[in-house]
Amino acid sequence: MINNKINSKYKIKGLSIIDNSKDADEEFFSDKKNLKNLENIIRESLEINNKYDIEDFDKIKRGQMAFFNYLTNERVRLEKIVQFFTQKIKTKIDYSNTTKELIALKAEEVSELKEILLRKITTDESTLQQNLSSIFNKAYSSTKKV
């Protein structure tokens, strides 16, 4: 009964289950309208919804692309790690700017600078000595007002 209702809705020419000849099938499947109607029959009989809501469609698309996106990010992450360990660290080890000799040279330069500074600061005419002497004199002067 249901099949009769569906068949009356969708007119399909040349559809016969009993006829198994290849020519009849070729004629049937070459006509696009017949194929479309067949598809609609199957969907109605199995109650498949042909239309998705916009939100569902977006979710499906996002879900399909999320895995691809994750894989590309993963590839980029691993490439960066491999480059770091195989190239960058190797060049840093082979051509480093902080070897022990360089650090010793720098330490010598810094100690020389410190000596120059101390010579300038510890003379009697330097501002540091003058400021310290004024503070000392103020604290221990004998002319205090009672």
- Closest CB 138 distance from other proteins, rounded Å: 22
The CA distance from 62 to 57, in Å, is 9
Tell which positions 5-64 bind other proteins, by CB under 8 A: none
Binding part of the chain for other proteins, among 11-19, 24-32, 33-41, 115-123 by CB under 8 A, reads: 115-123
What number of residues does the chain have? 146
Closest to other proteins by CB, 9 vs 88, is 88
Helices (H), the chain: 2-9, 22-30, 32-46, 54-83, 89-94, 100-121, 127-139
The CA distance from 105 to 115, in Å, is 16
Residue 13: closest CA among 43, 42, 39, 37 = 37
Could you say whether residue 67 binds other proteins (CB under 8 A)?
A: yes
The CA distance from 107 to 102, in Å, is 9
- Closest CB 106 distance from other proteins, rounded Å: 5
Closest to other proteins by CB, 45 vs 99, is 99
Q: Are 119 and 125 in contact (CB under 8 A)?
A: no
For other proteins, which residue of 72, 129, 131, 133 counts as binding (CB under 8 A)?
A: 72
For other proteins, which residue of 27, 39, 58, 74 counts as binding (CB under 8 A)?
A: 74
Which residues form the interface with other proteins (CB under 8 A)? Answer: 67-68, 70-72, 74-75, 78-79, 81-82, 85-86, 89, 92-93, 96-100, 102-103, 106-107, 109-110, 113-114, 116-117, 120-121, 126-127
